[in-house]
Structure 1
Amino acid sequence: MQKKRPEPSPDLGRESAESRRRFLKGLGLGLLYTAFGAPLASCGASLSARPATNAFGSARSRANTIFAEIEALARTRVKGPPIGPPNVPDGLLGIDFETYRTLGFRYDRSLFRDTENYIELQLFHQGHYYGRKVAIHLHRTDGTREELRFDPTLFNYEGSFRDLPVEELGYAGLRLHAPINRGDYHDEFLVFLGASYFRAIGKGHIYGLSGRCYCIDTGLDKPEEFPEITALHLVRPAPNETTAYIVAEVRSERSEGAFLFEITPGEETVLEIEGVIFLRSEVGSLGLAPLTSMYLFGEERPGRFSDHRPEIHDSDGLFLHSAEGERIFRRLRNPRKTTLSAFRLDHPRGFGLLQRDRSPMSYLDHHDVYERRPSGYVEPIEGFGRGSVRLLEFSTELESDDNITAFFVPDEVTPETRVKYRVRFLSGEPLKEAGFRVARFRRGLPKRNFKPIVDGTQLVIIDWEGGALRGADEYEPIVSAEGASVEDVRLIPVPELGALRMEFIVRFDGEAPAELRAFIRHGEGAYSETFSYLLEPGFEDWRDEPDAG
């Protein structure tokens, strides 16, 4: 497929994650709902000193050794003072994102290109919001290592940037490239940049949602604490290796952490993650495996904010898979007020933020192509016991704001927390089909004789796909609403869409939102996932109430 190739990291620091970070760090949220004993030594090597190919042992065994060292370092650090604030060099502080993008890495200088590696490495310059200097270490499987000195010849400099004090500069993060879309070009598939954020994509994707190592006090009525990656340790991949290994040192005021990433790019890019978190003082909540995304509006309120596009979102739903096997699809919202919702999910099989709608016609956006944003799905392995998945949604009018975060919160927070899990960045469904799933969701005013009924009620329409389309009388719609009553529930086969449509009216008990749940029963059991939504009275974009005439 011929297409114009975007610049590396086309919307990477889209101010999303960092603007959310600044917003939450300065505010308490009004809720609506409910380390090795000594530091690693720097070898002082320049980038021109290319490491040899791996010749001793495996990259995985070397990564395990590094992880054990960084875990020991974190264990020591937590007994001492916390990390200080980052120091952005003069000339880079406060520059806007478009200016920051001019400090791009020179593609022809990608590390490991000289050995024709499957995986190549590029680095990020300090600047914009990315003030923290992140130490980058390269490790060989023979046990040797080097810290990369800052090399200004790797970057494009224009105008006043040519006078920057090179001796004060460092790297802000890294990104990995591999030929995941075609054999003759190394596409960017993974980024570590800003706080403890990482982003990954698979074949055919462009960047959307992000992951983080962990989060502290997210969504509470106090400022959030953002752990930061201060060093990244990459095991130098051999030319034919298709998996990368990175160990991250993570630090914050009340925590120290070590995280090991095994990264395999492809049709879907998979990150196998092992982490340990040490706390030096009490926290309100500890969020594990957080995912962050953007939801501006969708098919329930198309064209909101006078936008010409029908939908704008990186993700459209939170998917939960319980230990008992129930599958729940919680449609995302851009609420009027910040909302924190909690879903009891002991020993979860999985959870994630999905971009389920893959039709270009849903977005009509040839530039941002939201249909190509990946879904992110977490599969817990160890450390996810009794607890809940929390969903934070805050109001925004900008698609540059990441206003959605989902994370697991254990019931009991101890001074040491260990986790193992997998994060999949994919296009399709994370699980095999098991009956009907939610395909579309809309809401609006009910009508009578072609006229809208303005009495506080709302019409809700859910299209279900994936199950066998039999007669509607073979299925039973099950709908409940906490804080409202439900009326006129019915199922309608829509064969031209391959869908079974559920319609019902919601009548609110008062001014509070209603918690909706719906599924399709066949025989004695459920034949669908469970639809979930927090429905607010009224409509967010009403200027004047329609005439009830």
Structure 2
Amino acid sequence: MFRPKYIRVFTLAMLLVACSPADDTSAPMAIDEASILPSESEPSEQVPPAKSQPAPSSIYNLERVQPEPASVPVRPQPEDMAEASTVAAFGLPEIRQKARRLAAEPYEPSRPLPDDAKRLNYDQYRRILPVAGDMGWSDPATGSRVLFDPRGYLFDQEVRINIIDGDTVTPHTYSADAFDFKDLPLSEETRETLGFAGLRLLAPINKAGKFDEVLSFKGASFFRALGAGSVYGASARGLGIGTASADGEEFPAFREFWVVRPDPASQGVSIYALMDSPSVTGAFAFEVSAGPRTQVEVEATFFPRKEIDGVGLSPLTSMYYFSPHDVIKQGDDFRPAVHDSEGLAIQMSNGEWVWRPLQNPTDLEVSVLAGTQPMGFGLLQRHRKFDDYSDVEAAYHQRPDVWVEPHGDWGEGQLMLVEIPTVNEYNDNIAVFWRPASGWRAGGTHSISYTMNWGHRPGALAEVMSVSDTRAGRKPGGKARMFVLDYEDVPEGFFENAELEISTSAGKILNPVMRRHPSSDNYRMSFELDPEGADMAELRAVVMRGSRPLTETWLYRWSTK
């Protein structure tokens, strides 16, 4: 039976941030057609701490970056100006060929971002708006729109963008006339030579005739999506390399996109992408179906340039600052909780459901939560009421869940959770990914596919009761730690003849109790932990009837810090 493991590294490895800050609820662009504007889960075992300190990351750092040495703006290269070409067929096989050839060549970084564009802060960068409501195709009969974003602020990687229309592939050349730069402090030369940083897909997911953002690609290999009624929160990446590693993290970047103009009768959009980095190239196909639950089918093939250790497949990132399930409370914030995601849900290979509340630790922590490929995993936001967060601007109750279902055999490996200390809500500090057991060798080929669902409760539905609330704190009048787990809307008789299985890796469990709420169909499990001098304990709780679990398996890391 697999036992989750953890690593505690006593240093701040990195500060993470998504493609825009956590309080950015107005970021998704909306276009109104009426007025278009330009039991595998037992307590974990300790793994010795890493001996060297992880190197800090830079792309996730939201701090206002200082300008680098002066750079001279470079006008787009001749290949950027290529005319449309007619091809018999163009799709993922052709992108794979490009990626394979690129992997055999030396890596060439993106051309430098001009200093004045680099000096833009986040609020200034957001003021740059597209002039038109659709930059990809002019046919109003299609059910989607596409917009492109210029480089600037932290988004320094340049991407090329192509439109596929039938058998015609047309490079979409950057033009400053496509954007309203307002009075921003950018020279004319900078405006004329910025180039693209990414793209956004829009569809009428909330209201007929009103095109809202459903998908965004911008910054390295980051992308994120929305379902109906949600605002941007958790993000995904095409690939992770060296996350939480002592050698530092590498960030592969999407360098070129091909967007397929959808048929008017089509409900989906196809997007292809070419990835590049010093260590690896990659070819991606994204099949996007927008709606109340936006589904993204991902197929990817990677071609290592050199030997790579610490690969992360289908990496997800999010922000967790604080909530009532913390042992140490946030004392001076008027809000009861602040997070884009509150927990990691896993459907294990044996069908067991696991719920692991997220934490904002004092020191970087890395956990191994599955030793065989899970049936699914995702970062969830279970609390969906405004009063759970009481934040009008951030609207944390509308942050989407993201659920990943791997297809095929990803090989031996581990599902890893990285939790990084953060002192505010502006840094993504959570990462989860599948790490292959063996490193990748230069010249190899690695292919995976998976389905991602984004929205409010988009994942597979568990056949057991889920934990609706976790609370933790000191037992009144005592020294023991008390934990409370709530289960909502429990059918009558569901917990009859059930047994509580509660365990700890250190100390002992006291007074386990399951009670029905006197005025509802909710149940509450409570127990105490006497750490007996330990400074950390891995807790596990599940309700069983015989050999059958009635609830998901709850995992929790308690620490004195």
Structure 1 residue 240: Cα displacement: 3.3
SS at match of 1:496: coil
> Partner of 1:255 in structure 2?
280
More displaced, 80-89 or 308-317?
80-89
Per the alignment, in what secondary structure is the counterpart of residue 123 of structure 2? Answer: helix
Per-residue Cα deviation, 1:315-361 (whole angstroms, up to 9, x for no partner): 11111111111110111001111110011241321111111111222
**Please, which of 470, 474, 485 is the counterpart of residue 441 of structure 1?**
470
In structure 2, the CA distance between the partners of 1:305 and 1:148, relative to structure 1 (3 Å rule), is: farther
1:472-517 CA distances to partner (integer Å, 9 max, x unpaired)? 6622111111123211111111153532211111122444321111
Picking from 218, 221, 228, the partner of 1:203 is 228
Structure 2 unmatched ranges of 5 or more = 1-24, 31-56, 66-76
Partner of 1:125: 150
The corresponding residue for 2:373 is: 347
Given that 2:293 and 2:453 are in contact with CA atoms closer than 8 Å, whether structure 1 keeps it comes out as: yes
CA contact (8 A) 1:138 1:148 kept: yes
Deviation at residue 430 of structure 1 after TM alignment:
1.8
Any idea what SS the aligned residue of 1:91 has? Answer: helix
Match of 2:303 in 1: 278
Q: 1:73 to 1:361 in 2, by over 3 A?
A: same
State the match for 1:525 in structure 2: 548
Distance (whole Å) between structure 2 residues aligned to residue 376 and residue 7 of structure 1:
19
Aligned pairs (5 A) from 1:401-416: 401-414=427-440, 415-416=444-445
Q: How does 1:427-438 map to 2 (within 5 A)?
A: 427-428=456-457, 430-438=459-467
Are 1:181 and 2:206 an aligned pair? yes
Encode CA deviations 1:251-270: one digit per residue, 9 max, x unaligned: 11111111110001001000
1:36-435 aligned at under 5 Å gives the runs 42=80, 44=82, 65-84=90-109, 86-142=111-167, 144-159=168-183, 160-161=185-186, 163-301=188-326, 304=330, 306-414=332-440, 415-428=444-457, 430-435=459-464
Give the aligned length: 494
Query: In structure 2, what residue type is equivalent to 1:288?
Result: L
State the secondary structure of the residue aligned to 1:371.
Answer: helix
Instruction: State the alpha-carbon separation in 2 of the partners of residues 464 and 254 from structure 1.
Output: 46
TM-score (norm 1): 0.84
Q: 1:465 aligns with which of 472, 480, 488?
A: 488
Q: Give the 3-state SS of the residue equivalent to 1:117 in structure 2.
A: coil
- Cα distance change on mapping 1:484 and 1:282 into 2, 3 Å: farther
Structure 2 contact 490–521 (Cα < 8 Å) conserved: no
**Quick one: structure 1 residues 281 and 108, their matched pair in 2 at CA, closer, same or farther if it must change by over 3 Å?**
closer
In the TM superposition, what whole-angstrom CA distance separates every residue of 1:14-44 from its partner, at most 9, and x where no partner exists?
Answer: xxxx9663499x9xxxxxxxxxxxx996554
Q: Secondary structure at the match of 2:254?
A: strand
Q: 1:483 to 1:282 in 2, by over 3 A?
A: farther
Q: Deviations over 1:21-72 (max 9, x none)?
A: 3499x9xxxxxxxxxxxx9965545xxx9x99xxx99xxxx5xx42111211
Could you say which structure has the greater relative contact order, defined with CA pairs below 8 angstroms and 6 or more residues apart?
A: 2
1:497–1:227 distance in 2 versus 1, CA, 3 Å: farther
Task: Give how far 1:273 is off.
Answer: 0.5
SS where residue 474 of structure 1 aligns? coil
Partners of 1:323 and 1:345 within 8 A in 2: no
d(CA) in 1 for partners of 2:298, 2:367:
26
Q: Secondary structure at the match of 2:299?
A: strand
Residue 21 of structure 1, aligned match among 60, 67, 75: 60
For the structure 1 residues 23 and 179, does the alpha-carbon distance in structure 2 shift closer, same or farther, using more than 3 Å as the test?
closer
Structure 1 residues 501 and 173: CA distance shift in structure 2, 3 A? same
Sequence identity (%): 30
- Secondary structure of the residue that 1:438 maps to in structure 2? coil
- SS of the equivalent of 1:75 reads helix
In terms of fraction of residues, the more helix-rich structure is 1
Residues in 1 aligned to 2:553 and 2:249: alpha-carbon distance in whole angstroms: 31
Alpha-carbon deviation of 1:303? 6.8
Gaps of 5+ in 1: 11-17, 27-38, 539-549
Q: Which amino acid aligns with 1:498?
A: D
SS at match of 1:287: strand
Q: CA RMSD in A?
A: 2.7
Read off the aligned partner of 1:410 and give its amino acid letter: P
Q: CA deviation at 1:431?
A: 2.3
- Counterparts of 2:527 and 2:501, CA distance in 1: 11
Query: Contact 2:176–2:191 at 8 Å: present in 1 too?
Result: yes
| 4+ residue runs over 4 A deviation | 39-43
